[in-house]
Copies of this chain bind each other. A is one copy, B any other.
């Protein structure tokens, strides 16, 4: 009964009306959202990436905000995440203040960046903890089977760190 009077998110003045997502765009967004969930990437970030991915030309801040009907804060944070992980590039035409964004050519490289930032720190942080646990177990003369389990865990962790560092070399920029 109520007319679908959507309340648009806080816009800047003089902003054009942006159309809502078309069905095929929604479907692609769902895909990116699902994949993002596996990687621990939040919905709004996946939505922004999807929009840029399906767009033939680079889009600016207001365009993204308008089409996704999303707050300024979320757009800003989302673009920051995507930038920080090398997933989007800024197209800066001279004579214009606004930045415009497009996905980086290599999605594979982008995924690697996300994995590195999420997984590697965790693995590395675990190294000293496991060492401590193992030392403590030895000191207490814990059950040999338990000691062996923890030692195995530690070897695993070390190898995972090495392997990840190999597979996910840090970027050379900066």
Asked if A60 is at the interface (CB within 8 A of a chain B CB), the reply is no
**Stretch from A62-70, A77-85, A130-138 at the B interface:** A130-138
With A38-B122, A126-B35: A146-B30 Cβ-Cβ less than 8 Å: no
Shortest Cβ distance from A109 into chain B, in angstroms?
13
CB-CB under 8 A from A137, the residues of chain B are 24
Could you tell me if B126 and A38 are in contact, using CB atoms closer than 8 angstroms? no
Residues of B within 8 A of A129 (CB): 27-28, 30-31
**Count of A residues near B, CB < 8 Å?**
38
Is A165 engaged at the interface, CB distance under 8 Å to the other chain?
A: no
Any B CB within 8 A of the CB of A34: yes
Max chain B Cβ within 10 angstroms of own Cβ: one of A31, A143, A145, A149: A31
Q: How far, in Å, is A101 (CB) from chain B's closest CB?
A: 15
B125 touches A34 (CB 8 A): yes
- Additional A-B contacts beyond A27-B133, A35-B122 (7; CB < 8 A): A24-B136, A27-B129, A28-B150, A31-B153, A34-B125, A37-B122, A107-B156
Mark A residues whose CB is within 8 Å of B.
23-24, 27-28, 30-31, 34-35, 37-38, 40, 53-56, 103, 107, 118-119, 122, 125-126, 129-130, 132-133, 136-137, 140, 142-143, 145-146, 149-150, 152-153, 156
